[in-house]
Amino acid sequence: SQKDRVVAEEEWLRKWETGSIWFHKERGHPLLQKYLDVLLNGRSGLRIFFPLCGKAVEMKWLADMGHSVVGVEVSEKALKEFFAEHSLPFCEEPVPEISGAKKLQTTSGNIALYCCSIYDLSSSIVGKFDGVWDRGALVAVNPCDRQRYVSLMITLMEKNSSYLLVTVSYDPNKHKGPPFYVPESEIKSLFGNHCEIKCLQKVNDFSDKHRQWGLDYFLEVLYILKFV
């Protein structure tokens, strides 16, 4: 069953090394474009966190709008491709608190990407955030680590922050994941004591790839979590 499935870090690194990154969206995610105002809530100059960021193009969009973006990702290849594909000059430096970690930052300082395990981060290292775009992160962490992941994310949130969360819905008996199926009831038990949760939209995202996995439906489900 999915709850016992464990994907090792090496498996994610291998996906980046071999280019089997079907989860990366070259043009960015339409749900973030559609609901960006809900995330920003009329505010400018926010600090926005991208957990398990890969080389998400939305990091550049938000930085170009004047926000400060922080991401974390285990694959250095993914992060270097992000800077290369957007022709962004960057510098890298070690992170003293985390053995072996690197911080890759644009020379303008508005995008800082940490190359390490997300579980090595803390608010004392990265600060706190006004917004989160979590697409492909909660659904990628091992089910046994879900509580640990959410507990960390909650410590990184400012009061009155907004968290856009994308999960996926399909028959979990037909595909072992990732991405993993996270039902709404679990979102409520994980986050419910800390924020208001509202489902904004469910989108049919079924493709040939999902058919190859043996699925007959695949939905993306978008939530807004408001930390009040």
Binding residues for S-adenosyl-L-methionine: 12-23, 52, 73, 117-118, 135
CB 228 within 8 A of CB 196: yes
CB 123 within 8 A of CB 161: no
> What tokens were used for 97?
């608190």
Residue ranges for the known binding site are 12-23, 52, 73, 117-118, 135
Q: What is the residue type of 204?
A: N
> What tokens were used for 169?
């819905």
Written in H, E and C, the secondary structure of the chain is: CHHHCCCCHHHHHHHHHHCCCCCCCCCCCHHHHHHHHHHHCCCCCCEEEECCCCCCCHHHHHHHCCCEEEEEECCHHHHHHHHHHCCCCEEEEECCCCCCCEEEEECCCCEEEEECCHHHCCHHHHCCEEEEEEECCCCCCCHHHHHHHHHHHHHCEEEEEEEEEEEEECCCCCCCCCCCECCHHHHHHHHCCCCEEEEEEEEECCCHHHHHCCCCCCEEEEEEEECC
